[in-house]
Amino acid sequence: MKKWVMIPLVILVSLITGASYYYYNYIYKAPEAVESRELMETNSSYEYLIQDAGYRIAENSYDCKVLINPVYGGPDGGMAAGKLREADIALSVAMYVEQLNTDDKLGIFLTRDTDTNPTEGQRLRFVEVVDPDIVLEIRVNSNADTSVIGTSVYYDNEYYDFHLVNSRLADVLEKSIVTEIEGVAEGIFPLEDGTSDFIKQMHRPSALIRCGYITGDKEAAALASETYKSNIAKGILNAIEEVRSADYTSEEE
């Protein structure tokens, strides 16, 4: 209904009920109020995590720090299938990694821990504050063919670290996750341009993990399971432990 029609209606309703303020704000102000609230929630969550990260680093002697970036959040759910959203799956897996970590020397940091969507600049700010040894991004995959399933890991083959080559990190993650979930290994692949600008900017050991196909007939049901997502997290933690304890130095790719 057009605004010029609604205004007389609002006035008429207000004369009868005295509710003009409520109706005006409900009809015209609600979208702006919701957007403003979401922005404040995102900024508040971001500031809290940044401060908490700084405090934890100052108070602990971590020998390894891992930064996990669960993609999307808030109104931007990423890929979706039914009620499943990529943002929710990514956040759940990341939080399980943090919750299941029992090693005081391993610091796990998340770029978000609520259903908010920090900007890329805010997420990159965590890299400056945490100075992580390893960076992981959590995503899912999709395909028009619902029979396609599998876990895959992507790495930046343009960056080389003598102590932990990205392709080695990706390989350990792929094997460890698939073993834990008893799933299908789709493989490890070099990052293509546009796949993850965040990972491309890391310049340190990093990987993008696609936990499975949100569109898969069987895998979608698995990704909705808390046990399954917890097992993905266990696989990630096992991989981190393996690369921390092993010598993965090699010749440049």
pLDDT tens readout for residues 197-207? 899 999 999 99
The whole-model pTM stands at: 0.82
CA distances from 198 to 90, 113, 175 (A): 15, 18, 24
pLDDT tens readout for residues 61-84? 999 999 999 999 999 999 999 999
Q: DSSP string of 10-76?
A: HHHHHHHHS-HHHHHIIIIIHHHHHHHHHHHHHHHHHHHHHHHHHHHHHH---SEEEEEEE--BTTB
pLDDT tens readout for residues 102-153? 999 999 999 999 999 999 999 999 999 999 999 999 999 999 999 999 999 9
Distance CA 232, CA 209 (A): 10
What ranges do the domains of the chain cover? 1-59, 62-245
Q: What is the pLDDT of residue 197?
A: 87
The helix/strand/coil state of 1 is coil
The DSSP secondary-structure symbol of 28 reads: I
> 163, 164, 165, 184: which is closest to 175 by C-alpha?
184
- pLDDT grade for 23, boundaries at 50, 70 and 90: very low
Is pLDDT at 41 greater than 70 in this prediction?
A: no
Q: Which CATH class is domain 62-245?
A: alpha beta
